[in-house]
A = this chain, B = another copy of it.
């Protein structure tokens, strides 16, 4: 299995190349809701991590969501979640000396590539400064690979909204009412609503505000 998984293969190569303890990738597409995780950790820690849903509170991932620059784990806030996860990790023989590189895609997709190695402070800084550039590239490559491979992403990346639908979504995001838009486009406000409904359906959204959020993150429209 593992040796056939290209993602796992890539991470293993990365680990070997830079003599790291472990390399892990976690990514998600807020639209499809799909999350993707790959790691070189053993099955024991992996399953423990997943079973306890650590990915929901993992401070490295939360920080990555809001950051663009690499995040050294020793700069994370030592909150309750931090203690929980890193104490558990230590029990599995995993060091808390690590780094996470956030990656943001154009459609709201986020990911993080994490590496860790148990070593001295000095050794760690030396290592990082030497390979940070390569890691950055690797993170981009890995994220791109994962997102492109996600069929749901691919599907949602190309929701075939009609010209009218996108046009009307754009005006809606600009704060126009259905009546306004009808006047602007010289059609009935009833028709505007039909297109809006169709757009909601295609975006699998329950309400117009939700559809606007998704359309923006899909890059279909821009906020105004």
Contacts and interface: CB of A to CB of B under 8 A. Distances in A.
Contacts of A206: 175-176
Interface in A152-208: 172-177, 205-208
Interface residues of A, number: 49
Copies in the complex: 2
Contact of A136 (B30, B137, B216, B223): B137
Contacts of A75: none
A34 to B, nearest CB: 13
Contacts of A125: none
Nearest to A108: B223
B69 A106 contact: no
A6 interface: no
Nearest to A174: B210
Interface string A208-221: 11111110110100
Nearest to A216: B213
Interface stretch (A37-45, A51-59, A139-147): A139-147
Residue of A105, A132, A207 with highest tally of chain B CB at under 10 A: A207
A160 to B, nearest CB: 17
A222 B108 CA distance: 9
Contact of A216 (B33, B70, B103, B223): B223
A66 interface: yes
23 contacts: A30-B222, A65-B106, A66-B219, A68-B105, A68-B143, A68-B144, A69-B141, A70-B140, A102-B106, A104-B105, A104-B106, A133-B134, A133-B135, A133-B137, A136-B136, A172-B207, A173-B209, A173-B213, A174-B210, A176-B206, A213-B224, A216-B216, A216-B223
Given A30-B224, A213-B216, 7 more contacts: A66-B106, A68-B140, A132-B137, A136-B140, A176-B207, A208-B208, A216-B223
